[in-house]
Amino acid sequence: MKLDVLNIEGKSTGRSVELPDDIFGVEPNEHAVWLAVKQFRNNQRTGTHKAKERGEIKGSTRKIKKQKGTGTARAGDIKNPLFRGGGRIFGPRPRKYHIKLNKKVKSLARKSALSDKIANGDIVVIEDFTFDAPKSSQLGNVLSNLDMSDAKTLLVTADYDKTLYLSSKNLKKSKVMNAKDLHTYAILNANKLVLSESSVKTIEETFGSK
């Protein structure tokens, strides 16, 4: 599949790039995508949540009332989970949420996400560009020229570009990512993908069939 290369003004440069079919033309696998998104979101969790249970609460162990004759339920001490300030019943404990995923499944999920984006016309290729200094307004103008100022956009560059990265920090709906770090969740989380011209080759070399 071929896409026209646009300049930063949103106009055609007269050039086009060939998007490899083994990455951008596969049959989307929804289950693989679901697994990849689940893994990414799970791996973001620290799992440090903790609630104190009855044995971890500080307090007197004195029996607060006699066992029978009160007309109410039996109660041992003030740390009873049924009392305010008592321990938590089956509270959360620190745990790991990380899950593993086979490389082939992750690769299929990434290709499925890219193929779905291209099928819906949500991928644009733009000529390589950078700024002399970080400037959010300049990047905002580029996205405006591409009619993407109101959409969540992901700008994919061939290599890490600190200037472009810092320029996107103050734009709520835009993000800049290195092509080698591209993953399924980042692709799906953006409404529009803007690929730099040189990033297409990097994507092909990194994620294409070996």
Judged against a pLDDT cut of 90, whether residue 149 lies above it is answered with no
Please give the pLDDT value at position 210.
55
Give the mean model confidence (pLDDT) for residues 191-196.
95
Distance CA 91, CA 205 (A): 48
Structure token digits, residue 172: 């709520």
Which residue(s) pair with 193 in the sheet? Answer: 123, 154
**17 half-sphere exposure, CB direction, 13 A CA radius:** 23
- All domains of the chain, ordered by start, with CATH? 2-45+97-207 (3.40.1370.10), 49-96 (no CATH)
Judged against a pLDDT cut of 80, whether residue 123 lies above it is answered with yes
Q: Report the side by side order of strands in the sheet with 12-18.
A: 12-18, 2-6, 123-126, 192-196, 153-157, 174-178
Distances (CA, A) of 40 to 35, 100, 123, 169, 188: 9, 10, 22, 22, 12
In the chain, the largest separation of any two C-alpha atoms, in whole Å, equals 92
Dump pLDDT digits (tens) for 4-54: 999 999 899 999 999 999 999 999 999 999 999 999 999 999 999 999 999
Dump pLDDT digits (tens) for 81-117: 989 999 999 999 999 999 999 999 999 999 999 999 9
